[in-house]
């Protein structure tokens, strides 16, 4: 049975009757929710189900099983993969529960929230969630991918701060998942992305943090070499109370881009520290002195503005992304990166970032998870805008960059960023044992393969 058969078309009314949310077919109000943040990705499901609650998700899963369809989930679509008319897309935007318990320092968060929503709710209580670099991404998708944010060296993965998930499995079961209840799922949901179920709510620990010292120092592209080499040396003994990344930028001349950065090649040192201000200032001062900044945004910052460290774009756009993990980087590695991504390289990429890992990330958390490769030294992340005139150049250059950095990359990658549905690419996010156990759990909890779409693990790749 295919999605275009009269049987499914006639029975869609039964799905509408079974859910309190909205079921939208192409051309109907609500179908536009399928459009992802990354508008380069063709997301054209059979229908969009804007769910009101967990029961709606379960009803959608049951309908999909009955009619031979698959079910995908989306909030913002930052990690979108192509979806066709054999898929029902669960949109979680209506799941906006947000309960902050200031005494327990916890939050119960609906899957419809983005990180800035949670930050704004926690801030009045002097608390903070461990958000990612972008505060406009969805909470659930970020956490199921592990979650590496601006404070990753200080606190580790954001998913290490999850207390519980509420999910609907591919078998249509509603489960409350904790380290003690369904412990195998608690392990797999932190890193396994959509493999084991659709998250409709999550409980997290909150941090008693209100401010930090951080932001970004920007230098002209002509200083990229001296800044990049100094940054690499500086990283060698950076204390884990501080996290950092280096980014080669080519930002477009748009009104939302600060004038000193617009339409030119620049290099940014991103920095976030929980050291006292004097110590943090002394640390970043070592890099401020290697060249003359064209813009210096490093200061004492309220946690509510943590998104300013990376200043990731908010508006939807067509992008191509690439990511890889590396071992130790040498001066030679930085010089190679400069040759393919620095000034004069004719790189078409908007951003090429090297993020220092280690610190707390490298230690196993109290509750082990399916997130692998904690021993990586750096994460390499690349994003380019797929404008019609340069789209082929962006994609081709990413491959060139991959080849150039292959002596230092590990062949592994992060679950989040550079979304992909190719099983071999997905497998690079895991070691063999983790891949096996995630696949075994998927066989158990999604026996019909209804969630077999996007970033999921299955043993028969």
Asked if 71 and 88 touch (Cβ cutoff 8 Å), the reply is: yes
What pLDDT sits at residue 460? 82
Strand intervals (E) in 45-170: 47-50, 70-74, 87-91, 98-101, 106-110, 162-168
In angstroms, the Cα distances linking 191 to 195, 357, 413 are: 9, 17, 12
What pLDDT sits at residue 10? 73
Please report the sign of the dihedral spanned by the C-alpha atoms of residue 188, residue 193, residue 195, residue 199.
positive
Beta bridge partners of 90: 49, 73
- Name 448's Cβ contacts closer than 8 Å, sequence gap at least 6: 65, 170, 171
- For the chain, residues with pLDDT lower than 50 are 1-3
CA distance 12 to 128: 42
> Domain 6-91: which topology?
3.30.43
Q: Domain residues of the chain, as ranges?
A: 6-91, 98-208, 211-404
CA nearest 296: which of 228, 214, 225?
A: 214
H or E element, residue 439: helix 432-445
pTM over the 0.75 mark: yes
CA nearest 32: which of 40, 21, 16, 44?
A: 44
H or E element, residue 91: strand 87-91
Average pLDDT score over the chain: 95
Which of helix, strand or coil describes residue 214?
Answer: strand
Architecture of domain 211-404: 3-Layer(aba) Sandwich (3.40)
Which of helix, strand or coil describes residue 250?
Answer: strand
> Domain 98-208: which topology?
3.30.465
What pLDDT sits at residue 11? 87
CA distance 461 to 445: 18
- Residue with the two structure tokens 């996290």: 243
Please report the sign of the dihedral spanned by the C-alpha atoms of residue 216, residue 218, residue 221, residue 223.
negative
Burial label, 259 (beta-carbon count in 10 A; 0-12, 13-18, 19+)? exposed
What pLDDT sits at residue 5? 62
Beta bridge partners of 357: none
**144 CB neighbour count, 10 Å cutoff:** 34
């Amino acid at each position: 049975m295919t999605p275009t058969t009269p049987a499914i078309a006639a029975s869609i009314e039964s799905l509408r009757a079974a859910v309190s949310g909205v079921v939208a077919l192409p051309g109907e109000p609500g179908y536009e929710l399928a459009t992802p943040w990354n508008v380069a990705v063709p997301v054209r499901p059979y229908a969009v189900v804007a769910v009101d609650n967990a029961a709606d998700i379960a009803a959608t899963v049951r309908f999909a099983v009955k009619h031979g369809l698959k079910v995908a989930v989306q909030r913002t679509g930052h990690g979108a993969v192509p979806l066709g008319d054999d898929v029902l897309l669960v949109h979680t935007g209506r799941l906006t529960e947000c309960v902050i318990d200031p005494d327990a320092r916890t939050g119960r968060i609906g899957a419809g929230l983005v990180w800035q929503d949670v930050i704004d709710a926690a801030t009045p209580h002097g608390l903070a969630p461990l958000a990612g670099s972008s505060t406009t991404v969805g909470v659930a998708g970020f956490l199921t991918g592990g979650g590496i944010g601006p404070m990753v060296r200080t606190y580790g993965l954001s998913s290490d701060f999850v207390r519980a998930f509420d999910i609907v499995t591919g078998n249509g079961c509603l489960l409350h998942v904790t380290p003690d209840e369904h412990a195998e799922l608690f392990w797999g949901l932190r890193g396994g992305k959509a493999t084991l179920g659709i998250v409709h709510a999550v409980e997290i620990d909150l941090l008693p943090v209100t401010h930090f010292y951080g932001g970004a120092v920007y230098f002209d592209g002509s200083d990229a070499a001296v800044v990049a080499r100094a940054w690499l040396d500086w990283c060698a003994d950076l204390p884990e109370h501080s996290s950092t990344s280096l980014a080669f930028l080519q930002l477009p001349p748009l009104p939302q881009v600060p004038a000193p950065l617009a339409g030119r090649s620049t290099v940014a040192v991103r920095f976030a520290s929980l050291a006292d201000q004097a110590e943090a200032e002394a640390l970043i001062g070592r890099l401020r002195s290697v060249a003359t900044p064209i813009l210096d945004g490093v200061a004492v910052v309220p946690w509510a503005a943590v998104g300013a460290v990376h200043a990731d774009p908010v508006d939807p756009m067509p992008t191509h992304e690439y990511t890889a993990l590396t071992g130790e980087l040498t001066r030679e590695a930085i010089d190679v990166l400069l040759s393919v991504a620095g000034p004069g390289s004719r790189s078409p990429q908007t951003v090429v970032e090297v993020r220092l890992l280690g610190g707390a990330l490298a230690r196993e958390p109290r509750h082990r998870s399916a997130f692998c490769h904690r021993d990586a030294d750096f994460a390499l992340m690349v994003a380019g805008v797929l404008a019609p005139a340069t789209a082929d150049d962006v994609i081709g250059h990413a491959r060139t960059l991959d080849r150039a950095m292959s002596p230092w990359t590990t062949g592994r990658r992060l679950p989040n960023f550079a979304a992909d549905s190719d099983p071999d690419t997905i497998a690079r996010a895991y070691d063999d044992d983790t891949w096996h156990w995630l696949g075994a759990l998927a066989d158990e909890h999604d026996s019909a393969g209804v969630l077999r779409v996007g970033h999921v693990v299955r043993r028969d790749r």
